[in-house]
C-alpha cells in the first residue's frame, strides 16, 4: 500500500536560492507557478517579505514587523511555470547586488475565487486540495463568524494577518489548540486567546473566528494562509524537549525539505530550516521569521534531516527545552514511500 500519492513534493513546495543583481532577473528552478513566495536575504539584514497572487504580486508584508503591507512595483513583477521575475529593486530585502537570497515557494491555485461556505464570504480562496494549502482573503466583522478554507480537510496550521493596518501576526497550531495563539513576529510564549478562533477548532470546511483584530477586525481586509497534514508531504506536530537529557527524534513520514519551529512554552525566537541552505547533516544554517537578522551559519548543530523525520541535535531552550513543548510545520523533500512503492533514502 502506497504511503503518499505525492511522489514529487517539489511540485507543490520548493526552496529556491538565488543571487541578487539589482537589475531585472528571472528566478527559475522553482518547478511550478508559485502562489505564495516568501523571500529573505541570507547575507545581510533584510526583511522577510511575503507576496502572493491573491493580494497581488506588488503587495508585500513583513513577517518580522507589524507594518501594513507595502506596494513595490519593481520587486516580484511576474510569476511563470518555473518561478518568478524580479524587478530592479536594489534593497537588501529582495534583490541587492552581491547578496544571496532564499525563497520558499508554495503552490495553491492562483488568485482563486470566492468561497461561500461560511457566514463570511471570502473575497478569494486559492486552494490546492492535493497539497493541503490555501490562501484566503476576507473582510472581518468583529463578531463571531466562520469562513470557508476550501481544502476539504482540516487545517492544522494557519497564519492570519490584518494586512492593510499595523498589526501582529496570529498563528494557530492544532498542537496548542484553538483557545491559544502565538505571534509570528514576536518571541512570546503561547497565550490564552479565546477571541482569535472563538475557541473552536477548524473543520474540514470551515474556520471559526472570534472578535480578535488579529483574525477578524471589523471592516478590515484579512488574510489567512492555511495548511493541512497530507500524508507523506506535510505535517504540523509537536515534541517535548529533553534538554541535556536527550535528543528527540520526530517522525513525519517523509524526508523534510523545510521546517519552521518554535518552543511555545518559553519566550524564544522562531527558527526556519531547509534542505537547500543545509544540503548535508548536521543542519546548521538558520533564519528567524520574527527577526531581520542575516542567516546564522556558525558551528551550532540544530537538526538532522532523516528519511522519515528529523532528530534534534541541540540542547538549547529554543529547540530542546527540558519538558517544554515545541511545535513545528514541515514539508517534504520526498515521502518515506510514494505511490510507486520506492522507499526514500537518508541524506
Distance CA 326, CA 316 (A): 12
Q: What angle do CA 157, 283, 344 make, to 5 degrees?
A: 75
pLDDT beyond 60 at 278: yes
Q: Is-contact 202 224, C-beta < 8 A?
A: no
Tell me if 342 is assigned to some domain: no
pLDDT at 80: 97
pLDDT tens digits for range 105-146: 999 999 999 999 999 999 999 999 999 999 999 999 999 999
Domain co-membership, 26 together with 87: yes
Query: Average pLDDT in the 315-332 region?
Result: 97
pLDDT beyond 60 at 99: yes
pLDDT at 347: 74
Tell me if 233 is assigned to some domain: no
Q: Is-contact 4 254, C-beta < 8 A?
A: yes
pLDDT at 91: 79
pLDDT at 177: 96
Tell me if 82 is assigned to some domain: yes
Distance CA 125, CA 111 (A): 7
Tell me if 173 is assigned to some domain: yes
Domain co-membership, 62 together with 140: no
Domain co-membership, 133 together with 218: yes
pLDDT tens digits for range 209-235: 999 999 999 999 999 999 999 999 999
Domain co-membership, 150 together with 65: no
Of 166, 200, 228, which residue sits at a domain end? 228
Query: Average pLDDT in the 334-346 region?
Result: 66
For 147, the domain range is 124-228
Tell me if 151 is assigned to some domain: yes
pLDDT tens digits for range 4-28: 778 899 999 999 999 999 999 999 9
pLDDT at 7: 85
pLDDT at 341: 57
Percentage of the chain beyond pLDDT 70 is 96
Domain count, the chain: 3
Domain co-membership, 261 together with 326: yes
Q: Is-contact 331 273, C-beta < 8 A?
A: no
Domain co-membership, 212 together with 139: yes
pTM (predicted TM-score): 0.96
How high is the mean pLDDT of the chain? Answer: 94
Tell me if 304 is assigned to some domain: yes
Tell me if 18 is assigned to some domain: yes
SS3 of 164-219: the string is CCCCCEEEEECCCCCCEEEECCCCCCCEECCCCCCCCCCCCCEEEECCCHHHHCCC
Tell me if 341 is assigned to some domain: no
pLDDT at 1: 41
CB burial of residue 73 (10 Å; 0-12, 13-18, 19+)? exposed
Residue 283 has a CB neighbour count (10 Å cut-off) of 25
Domain co-membership, 165 together with 100: no
Amino acid at each position: 500500500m502506497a504511503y503518499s500519492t505525492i511522489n514529487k513534493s517539489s511540485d507543490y513546495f520548493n526552496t529556491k536560492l538565488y543571487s541578487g543583481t539589482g537589475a531585472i532577473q528571472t528566478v527559475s528552478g522553482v518547478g511550478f507557478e508559485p502562489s505564495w513566495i516568501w523571500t529573505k536575504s541570507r547575507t545581510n539584514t533584510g526583511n522577510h517579505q511575503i507576496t502572493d497572487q491573491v493580494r497581488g504580486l506588488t503587495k508585500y508584508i513583513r513577517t518580522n514587523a507589524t507594518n501594513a503591507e507595502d506596494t513595490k512595483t519593481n520587486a516580484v513583477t511576474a510569476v511563470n511555470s518555473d518561478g518568478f521575475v524580479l524587478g530592479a529593486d536594489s534593497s537588501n530585502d529582495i534583490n541587492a547586488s552581491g547578496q544571496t537570497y532564499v525563497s520558499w515557494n508554495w503552490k495553491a491555485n492562483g488568485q482563486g475565487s470566492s468561497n461561500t461556505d461560511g457566514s463570511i464570504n471570502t473575497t478569494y480562496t486559492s486552494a490546492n486540495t492535493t497539497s493541503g494549502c490555501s490562501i484566503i482573503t476576507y473582510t472581518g466583522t468583529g463578531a463571531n463568524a466562520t469562513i470557508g478554507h476550501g481544502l476539504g480537510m482540516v487545517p492544522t496550521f494557519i497564519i492570519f494577518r490584518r494586512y492593510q493596518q499595523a498589526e501582529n501576526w496570529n498563528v494557530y497550531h492544532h498542537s496548542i489548540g484553538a483557545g491559544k495563539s502565538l505571534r509570528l513576529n514576536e518571541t512570546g510564549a503561547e497565550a490564552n486567546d479565546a477571541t482569535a478562533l472563538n475557541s473552536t477548532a477548524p473543520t474540514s470546511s470551515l474556520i471559526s473566528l472570534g472578535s480578535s483584530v488579529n483574525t477578524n477586525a471589523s471592516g478590515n481586509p484579512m488574510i489567512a494562509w492555511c495548511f493541512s497534514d497530507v500524508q507523506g508531504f506535510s505535517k504540523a506536530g509537536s515534541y517535548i524537549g529533553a534538554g541535556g537529557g536527550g535528543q528527540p527524534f520526530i517522525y513525519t513520514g517523509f524526508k523534510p525539505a523545510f521546517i519552521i519551529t518554535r518552543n511555545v512554552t518559553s519566550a524564544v525566537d522562531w527558527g526556519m530550516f531547509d534542505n537547500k541552505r543545509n544540503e548535508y547533516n548536521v543542519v546548521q544554517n538558520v533564519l528567524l521569521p520574527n527577526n531581520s537578522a542575516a542567516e546564522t551559519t556558525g558551528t551550532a548543530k540544530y537538526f538532522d534531516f532523516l528519511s522519515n523525520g528529523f532528530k534534534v541535535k541541540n540542547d538549547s531552550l529554543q529547540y530542546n527545552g527540558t519538558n517544554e513543548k515545541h511545535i513545528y510545520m514541515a514539508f517534504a523533500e520526498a515521502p518515506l514511500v510514494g505511490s510507486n512503492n520506492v522507499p526514500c533514502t537518508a541524506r
